Every structure is written in structure tokens, then in C-alpha cells.
Amino acid sequence: MELIVVADPETLAESIADRIAATIASAPATVLGVATGSSPLGVYRALARRVAGGLDVANLRAFALDEYVGISPDDPRSYAATLRTAFARPLGLSPSALHVPDGTRPDLDEACADYERAIADAGGVDIQLAGFGANGHLAFNEPGSPADSVTRVVDLAARTRSDNARFFDHPDEVPHQAITQGVGTILRARSIIAVATGSTKAEAVAAAVAGPIDAACPASFLRLHEDAVVYADPAAAALLP
């Protein structure tokens, strides 16, 4: 795993956008894995500028990492709605190009299996964008998630629900469960870019980059991948040796 410390979040976003845009330019039918949260937003804005400048994304397909259980895709708090607003529309993607797990299906296990199958049918993810949770989670793979886990329903840790409460009117409204791609699913991507910004991510970055590779910090499993890179700003990298 490669670690790149970038001077500030803006430069970080531009660097990642350059990397993703180069992949799309060389392979227009790229399958891109997309993440929610604050860390990737600058990347999506930078990608939109590249599309405005001529980058062709007509054949791009995107798969989200995760989604809350029990929240409609039309709810603005859902990850489906967030990604439509922050990613798909600014890039001019058709609605059918963005795939998000459906946390409202009556049979959630079937929904998870269908999502795994959809990724495989698309040929797998070429380049996966991911963020770090403050507790070291990767997507919604909370501490304790094994390296071979696949898309499934998970219980969200108290830390995760607390961190995400800012998107809801009241902390009690934050869902207790989500559908997430598993660690094993994520590691099947051909290339992975993980993003960490801010001092609240410093402990997770130190554990992922320099600590043991184990389920206590699922992000540490990125070190098992042959083409994974972590972009961090100085605040997120502050606790590294």
C-alpha cells in the first residue's frame, strides 16, 4: 500500500481526480466505485470540472459502497440521493449508470446477493474510491469485519452513528443498520484509492498504515492489496511515525 501525504484537502482532491480521470480517459467504460461522506466531495467536484473540460464519461458506470437500511432512495439522507446530487448529476451521468444497494428490499439478504452479482456482471470495479471511518471502518465494515467478508447487512457501531448524526435532525434518527460491500468485495477492485482528511481520522490512519493488519481496523486490510493508495492531509497523517 502506498501512502501519499498532500498539503491540503484541495490539492488532495485534485490529485485523486487526476488519477481517476486518467483511468477513465484510457478506458471509457471504467467501472468506478464511489463513496459518500465528506472526504470524497472535493474529488467529485474536481471530476465534474474535468468533465466540463472534455472528459468523456458517457460509458462510465459507478457502484456505491453502502447504503442505510430502511431509508428510501428518494430520502435526501440516503446515500443514493447523496450520490445523485454530489456525483452523478454534476458529471452528467444517466440515472442507470449509478448503482446503490437497496436497503428497503423486503429480503435484504437477497438484495446483498443481487448487488454482489451486479458488480461481477459489470466486470468488477476498476478503481474504488473509499474513505476512512474514525474507528478504522472501511465502507460500513466496522471493527471485527473479516478480510473475506462480502456484501451484507451490518450493525453500525455507536461511533459511526454518532459521527453521522450531523446529517439527521436528531441522533435517534440515524439507522442502526446498513448494507455494505464487504472487505473482500472491496479488495477485488483492481485499484483502490482511500481518502483521509482531518485530525479526527489520525488514529485510524496510523492504525491502518502502521498498525497490525487485522479486523480491529478493517482499513488495515488495504495493505493486502497490490494497488492501494491512501491519500491523507497532514492532519490525518499527524500520528504516523
Contact 119, 185 (CB under 8 A): yes
Average pLDDT value over all residues in the chain: 96
* Interacting residues of 11 by C-beta distance below 8 A, sequence separation 6+: none
CA 226 to chain centre: 18
142 included as an active-site residue: yes
pLDDT digits 0-9 by tens, 192-217: 999 999 999 999 999 999 999 999 99
Rounded Cα distance, 68 and 39, in Å:
18
CA–CA distance, 226 with 64 (Å, rounded to integer): 22
User: If we measure between CA atoms, which residue out of 122, 116, 125 comes closest to residue 34?
Assistant: 125
Chain centroid offset of residue 14 CA = 17
- pLDDT for 39 equals 83
* pLDDT higher than 90, residue 56: yes
Averaged over 113-137, what is the pLDDT? 96
Catalytic residue, from 135, 164, 203, 225: name it: 135
Q: Which domains does the chain have, with CATH numbers?
A: 2-232 (3.40.50.1360)
Mean pLDDT of the 162-173 span = 92
Residue 228: pLDDT above 90?
yes
The yes-or-no answer on residue 164 being catalytic is no
Confidence of residue 132 (pLDDT cuts 50, 70, 90): confident
Mean pLDDT confidence for 81-105: 97
Instruction: Judge whether 137 counts as a catalytic residue.
Output: yes
Catalytic residue among 102, 116, 142, 233: 142
Range of lowest pLDDT (36-40, 75-79, 225-229): 36-40
Instruction: Spell out the residues 6+ positions from residue 52 whose beta carbon is closer than 8 angstroms to its own.
Output: none
Told to judge if 66 belongs to the known catalytic residues of this protein, a careful annotator would answer yes
Task: Name the band, by pLDDT with cuts 50, 70 and 90, for residue 108.
Answer: very high
Catalytic residue among 99, 102, 137, 163: 137
In this model, does residue 241 exceed pLDDT 90?
Answer: no
Alpha carbon distance 43, 191 (integer Å): 16
